[in-house]
Every structure is written in structure tokens, then in C-alpha cells.
């Protein structure tokens, strides 16, 4: 009888250990897969914000830290371009006054995103970090004096891992943040641009 009980207990222990090992292997893998999937979506949207900021600066000479202003710009403003008639390399045409340029305007939303079709609804949602309950990206803008004495306009937009991974494994999230901060000395999340250095609006995933 005692031998039977011991066998049952051992069987339970083996099953429990197998389950623990299984979880130790699968949880990190599942977490990494979900991080990659969600990060791709967060990056895609932060790229749209960067595109909008660059166009905003093209029109206003500064970046903006206000999403209302940025979204209103994309939805309601336009950019001015030049259309050339004739070639400036043709000296005869130039002498005859046949080479001319003409200004024309294009709605911001119709031109800055290239082949990506952005609807007004997509633009309005641009401020929110995916996989959150309407939490906004952190957006800052300002001017920075470089070491060479040149003042440049900068902006920074970021989405912390804590925002869009909070419903996943707590321990794996802690490990990810610790690794990003202490091993790689990088922002623990997705970030584009910088308020402390001129990065040409680069993203920390690039």
C-alpha cells in the first residue's frame, strides 16, 4: 500500500516538474513572439507620426509636441510644390522665357504617406499606442544647440514596453526592460527621434 502511494506521489511530482519545465520554455518563447508582433504594429504607427512631424516642420520650420496640432495639420492643411515647364539646361528656352515654374498645392494627407493610404480615421488614431486603452504616445519637441553651435529642431516620440506589453508575463516584461536599460543602455520601448541629440529622427529599432 505504501509503495503504491509513493509511486503515485512520484508520478505527480514528475508531471509537476514536466509542467514547470514546459512553462519555463514556452512562456519566454511566446512572450518574445508577442513582443515582435506588437512592436511591429507600434513601430508602423510611430513611423506615421515621424512622417507627419517631418511634413509639419517642412511647412512650419518647427516640430510640434501637440497631437491636436499635428493631426489637424495632416487632415486640413496642404503643402506647396513647384512644377517646372521646360528645362533650365536649355539655354535657348531660358533666353526665350519658355522655362517657367508654377506653384501647386496638395493636401497633406494625400501626399506625405506615399503609397500608404491613410484615412481620416487612421490619422485620428495615430496618437494612440496600439494594444493599450487609448494611451497616447509620449511626444516632445523643441530646439537643441549642437556642439558646433548650430541650433536644430528636434522631436521625440516614444511608447514604453510597459504600455503595450502590460498584459503579458510580468517577469518576462521585467527582464526585457532590465536588458534594454542595463545591457543595451537604450530606451525600454519603441522610440524615434531624441530631445538630447541630433539623430535625424532615427528610431531605436533601426
Per-residue confidence in pLDDT tens, the chain, 206 aa: 776 666 565 555 555 555 455 456 667 999 999 999 999 999 999 999 999 999 999 999 999 999 999 999 999 999 998 877 766 556 665 556 666 778 889 999 999 999 999 999 999 999 999 999 999 999 999 999 988 889 999 999 999 999 999 999 999 999 999 999 999 999 999 999 999 998 889 999 99
Residue spans of the domains in the chain: they are: 2-76+115-193
Model pLDDT, residue 19: 44
Which among 160, 159, 136 is positioned nearest to 68, based on CA atoms?
136
Cβ-contact 169, 27 below 8 angstroms: yes
Which among 192, 206, 108, 128 is positioned nearest to 154, based on CA atoms?
192
CA distance 168 to 56: 36
Model pLDDT, residue 189: 98
38 sits in which H/E element? helix 2-60
Cα 61 → chain centroid:
22
Model pLDDT, residue 101: 74
CA distance 9 to 98: 96
- Cell numbers given for 104: 501647386
Per this entry, what is the length of the chain? 206
Model pLDDT, residue 90: 62
Residue with cell 519555463: 24
CA distance 67 to 46: 12
Model pLDDT, residue 9: 57
Cβ-contact 195, 142 below 8 angstroms: yes
Which among 89, 63, 106 is positioned nearest to 193, based on CA atoms?
63
Amino acid at each position: 500500500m505504501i509503495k503504491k502511494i509513493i509511486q503515485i506521489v512520484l508520478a505527480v511530482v514528475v508531471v509537476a516538474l514536466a509542467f514547470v519545465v514546459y512553462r519555463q520554455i514556452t512562456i519566454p518563447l511566446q512572450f518574445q513572439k508577442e513582443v515582435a508582433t506588437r512592436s511591429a504594429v507600434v513601430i508602423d504607427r510611430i513611423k506615421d507620426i515621424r512622417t507627419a512631424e517631418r511634413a509639419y516642420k517642412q511647412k512650419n520650420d518647427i516640430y510640434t509636441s501637440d497631437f491636436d496640432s499635428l493631426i489637424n495639420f495632416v487632415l486640413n492643411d496642404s503643402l506647396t510644390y513647384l512644377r517646372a515647364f521646360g528645362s533650365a539646361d536649355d539655354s535657348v528656352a531660358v533666353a526665350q522665357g519658355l522655362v517657367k515654374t508654377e506653384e501647386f498645392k496638395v493636401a497633406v494627407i494625400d501626399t506625405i504617406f506615399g503609397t500608404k493610404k491613410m484615412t481620416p480615421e487612421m490619422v485620428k488614431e495615430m496618437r494612440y499606442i496600439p494594444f493599450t486603452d487609448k494611451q497616447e504616445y509620449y511626444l516632445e519637441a523643441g530646439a537643441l544647440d549642437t556642439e558646433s553651435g548650430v541650433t536644430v529642431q528636434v522631436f521625440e516620440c516614444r511608447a514604453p514596453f510597459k504600455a503595450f506589453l502590460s498584459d503579458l508575463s510580468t517577469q518576462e516584461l521585467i527582464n526585457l526592460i532590465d536588458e534594454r536599460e542595463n545591457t543595451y543602455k537604450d530606451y525600454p520601448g519603441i522610440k524615434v527621434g531624441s530631445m538630447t541629440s541630433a539623430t535625424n529622427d532615427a528610431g531605436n529599432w533601426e
